[in-house]
Amino acid sequence: MDENTRKGSGLAKYLWLLPALVVLLLIARAAISLSGSATDGATWDADGQVLEVDEGGPAAQAGLRVGDTVLSAGNCDTATWDVCQYNAYRPGSVVPITFQQGEQVHAASLTLTMTPAGTRLAWLMVLLVALAFCLCSLVVVMSRPDATEARLFYALGQVGAASLVMGTSGRRFTPRPGCW
């Protein structure tokens, strides 16, 4: 086996860079999206059960209360509303919502507002940690490309970074009052 076959030739020897490139693109996309992220001022679980309503926020103004059940929000499934809201709507968007309080069903409109600065800062910090994972593992594997430990560290670093980035694609991480 000649040297080029053993170490890879042409484009094939650079394929290991692909995960880092994908992670870096995901980080950039998530960071750009932070500037115009919208919020409805409420948190509910996959079944639509309202867990939290921000006082004075759009959901509170629409009459939503903790314990209510959201039946529909916009044209999104209630289980995926966080991701849908983050990707499809901007501050100022008016979104129809249907929810149940006790036995009564209500229809209202939410005018989404800008995500609070503290929440956006928390998301940015998560993205910076993801960037550190991505770049540190890249430096390690570039310094010792033939070492199995370096390759394993690289793979784990890229998976960890991608997981952190994907966690910011919806309102998965929201700091509690007093965090900032």
- Token pair listed for 8: 């890879």
Cβ–Cβ contacts within 10 Å for residue 34, how many?
16
> 1-5, 28-32, 89-93, 110-114: which range is least confident on average?
1-5
Higher pLDDT, 7 or 41: 41
pLDDT digits (tens, 9 = 90+) for 102-114: 999 999 998 888 8
CATH architecture of 38-114: Roll (2.30)
> 19-23, 48-52, 80-84: which range is least confident on average?
80-84
Q: What is the mean pLDDT of residues 44-73?
A: 89
Residues 69 and 72: their CA atoms lie apart, in Å, by 9
Range 126-163 burial, b when 16+ CB lie within 10 A, else e: bbeebbebbeebbebbeeeeeeeebbebbeebbebbbe
What percent of the chain lies above the pLDDT cut of 70? 82
pLDDT given for residue 163 in this prediction: 87
Domain locations along the chain: 12-34+117-167, 38-114
pLDDT given for residue 179 in this prediction: 35
pLDDT digits (tens, 9 = 90+) for 139-180: 999 899 889 999 999 999 999 998 888 876 554 444 433 333
